[in-house]
Structures are given as structure tokens and as C-alpha cells.
């Protein structure tokens, strides 16, 4: 059973091997016709997750697959108590997300969206003001997993100063470690979130961090909506506390606050930073491998529980 929308290649691959039931509304709602007692595998993601209550309604459940990297809303304790294997797909969309983050940084700094609108409106001459560039600027990255490292490598190639903030330094990496998030934000021209969601990172970007980033700084969130305090972000954008933001995720998604929609210094994409044909093929392969292994009594290579 899939609780989330899946690419056509994934649905076709699953449909040729298994009886596939899709969530009735595409976002986790299970129709009355789904035989929960016979469901052996569930495909979800970190945002939708799978609750202990639903796990309890599936006595035949053997494997829960997070179609991507995140699995923060899957009840791992409930799964472990039943011996249910939880898997994900690490390394399948990291480079795509890193590309997306760099795209936000370039588009925000160079003003692609605003300038295109001005030119279309006949304002060619007035649109030719100087805009900041990435070269020589500083980026602070919250998180230094695969995605964070991908962003760091790309930023380094642009001649940027690269800093990162995690609980512990990654001494094997050639980037500048910052133990204090506020200090890193203050030293950054671009602050990029690339950390997992969940309680430990909830609202880690708040009014204090945004104030430290400052009126010439840009925020980019390609992590989870819960990482950024939306009310604080709206306030910072309205007051000019920061210069702008690139958001692939929101706390309220798919609903977007009207205040954000009305701001021309905010770029928004619909939680698709990790979606590319290559990433979807890799995620599908990881999903099929995990399902086949668990349902045939073998150890899953991508098991997290």
C-alpha cells in the first residue's frame, strides 16, 4: 500500500510484482476498500510517516519503506515492537536536492524571478541594478550529511566560504565547522537548511537566527518545514530583517501563507527538490530491493529498524 503519490515508473514496477493499493486522496487517507489485514508492505515518506495506530491495524505488515531519505514520522518504536522492518533510500536524491539549493541561492541573489517580471513589464532599464553574486560570499549549512556535503561542494566550486553547523564536527571534511548556529548565521550571506526533521530540529531557525542572518542574508530551506518557524520567517521578511528566502518545504504544506505568496523576494517550490528522473529511478530501485529482501526473509540493505 502506498500512502503517498508515486512516480508512474514506481507504480508500474510495483504493480507488476504486487497488488498495489494507493491512498484514496494521495496524501495518506486510506479508503474503506483497502484490506488492511492483508497489507504486507507500506510505502510512505518522512512527512506522511506511519502511526502506531495504523501499524496496529495491519497484522500482516512486514516492511515500511520511506520513499526517500527521511522517516521522521514513522513510529519506529511501534514497528520495532512488532519486528517490522523500516527502510529508506539513502543517497538516491541527494545530488538533486543539492542542485535545487544552489538554484535557489543563484536565483535569489541574482533576482531572476523579479527581473524577469520587470523586463516583461517593459522595465528593462530600471531592472539593471547591481545584484550580489555567490563568488566570495559565505554560506552556512545546517547539517552536513550527504545533501549538506553536496551543497558544500557546489558552493566551494563557486568560490564561496563554506561553513556548517552540526552537533559534532566532521573532521574529515574540508569545510569550516561552526559550533554555534547564531554565530554561523551572523557570518553567512546564505543560510541553508539540510538537516533531518523531527523534534531535535523543530524551529531551529527562528527569530534570533534570522536576525543574525541579517538584512542582506538569504534563507534557503530544502530540509523540512518544521525546521523553520513560519511566523518568525514571515515577520522577518515583512520587516526586511532578511533579504529573501527560497522554500521547498513549509510547516503548513501544501497550504502556503498568503503573506509569503505576496512577497516577490520569496521563491517557493512544492516540496520537489529531490525529484528528478534519475532520483526517481534510484528510489524505485531501492524500494524494490527492500521489499523483495524483507518479503523473502532476507536482510534489507537499507534497513533503519
Q: CB neighbours (10 Å) of residue 241?
A: 18
Order of strands across the sheet that contains 161-165: 176-177, 161-165, 138-142, 190-193, 218-221, 244-247, 266-268
Report d(CA 239, CA 197) in Å as an integer. 27
* Exposure b/e, 133-166, CB count within 10 A at least 16 = b: ebeebbbbbbbbbbbbbbbbbbbeebebbbbbbb
- List the grid coordinates of 294: 524483507
Q: Which residue has the cell 548565521?
A: 185
**Phi then psi for 255, rounded to 5 degrees?**
-80, 135
Q: CB neighbours (10 Å) of residue 265?
A: 16
Q: Which residue has the cell 519503506?
A: 65
CB 219 within 8 A of CB 228: yes
Report d(CA 177, CA 193) in Å as an integer. 15
**Phi then psi for 66, rounded to 5 degrees?**
-90, 115
- List the grid coordinates of 134: 555567490
Report d(CA 143, CA 165) in Å as an integer. 6
Active site residues: 224, 253, 271
Spatial CA neighbour of 107 closest among 115, 97, 117, 95: 115
Amino acid at each position: 500500500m502506498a500512502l503517498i503519490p508515486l512516480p508512474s515508473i514506481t507504480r508500474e514496477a510495483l504493480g507488476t510484482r504486487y497488488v498495489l493499493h494507493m491512498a484514496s486522496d494521495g496524501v495518506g487517507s486510506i479508503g474503506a476498500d483497502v484490506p488492511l489485514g492483508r497489507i504486507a508492505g507500506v510505502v510512505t515518506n518522512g512527512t506522511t510517516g506511519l502511526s502506531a495506530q495504523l501499524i496496529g491495524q495491519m497484522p500482516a505488515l512486514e516492511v515500511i519503506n520511506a520513499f526517500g531519505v527521511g522517516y521522521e514520522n514513522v513510529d519506529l518504536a511501534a514497528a520495532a515492537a512488532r519486528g517490522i522492518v523500516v527502510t529508506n533510500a539513502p543517497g538516491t536524491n541527494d545530488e538533486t536536492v543539492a542542485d535545487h539549493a544552489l538554484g535557489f541561492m543563484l536565483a535569489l541573489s541574482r533576482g531572476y524571478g523579479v527581473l524577469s517580471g520587470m523586463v516583461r513589464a517593459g522595465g528593462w532599464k530600471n531592472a539593471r541594478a547591481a545584484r550580489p553574486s555567490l563568488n566570495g560570499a559565505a554560506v552556512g549549512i545546517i547539517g552536513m550529511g550527504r545533501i549538506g556535503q553536496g551543497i558544500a561542494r557546489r558552493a566551494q566550486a563557486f568560490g564561496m566560504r563554506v561553513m556548517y553547523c552540526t552537533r559534532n564536527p566532521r573532521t574529515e571534511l574540508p569545510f569550516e565547522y561552526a559550533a554555534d548556529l547564531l554565530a554561523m548565521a551572523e557570518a553567512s550571506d546564505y543560510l541553508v537548511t539540510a538537516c533531518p526533521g523531527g523534534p531535535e530540529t523543530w524551529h531551529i531557525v527562528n527569530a534570533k537566527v534570522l536576525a543574525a542572518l541579517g538584512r542582506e542574508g538569504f534563507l534557503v530551506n530544502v530540509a523540512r518545514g518544521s525546521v523553520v518557524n513560519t511566523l518568525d520567517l514571515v515577520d522577518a521578511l515583512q520587516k526586511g530583517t532578511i533579504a529573501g528566502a527560497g522554500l521547498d518545504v513549509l510547516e503548513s504544506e501544501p497550504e502556503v501563507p498568503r503573506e509569503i505568496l505576496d512577497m516577490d523576494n520569496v521563491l517557493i517550490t512544492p516540496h520537489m527538490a529531490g525529484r528528478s528522473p534519475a532520483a526517481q529511478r534510484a528510489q524505485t530501485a531501492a524500494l524494490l530491493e527492500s521489499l523483495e529482501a524483507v518479503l523473502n526473509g532476507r536482510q534489507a540493505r537499507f534497513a533503519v529498524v
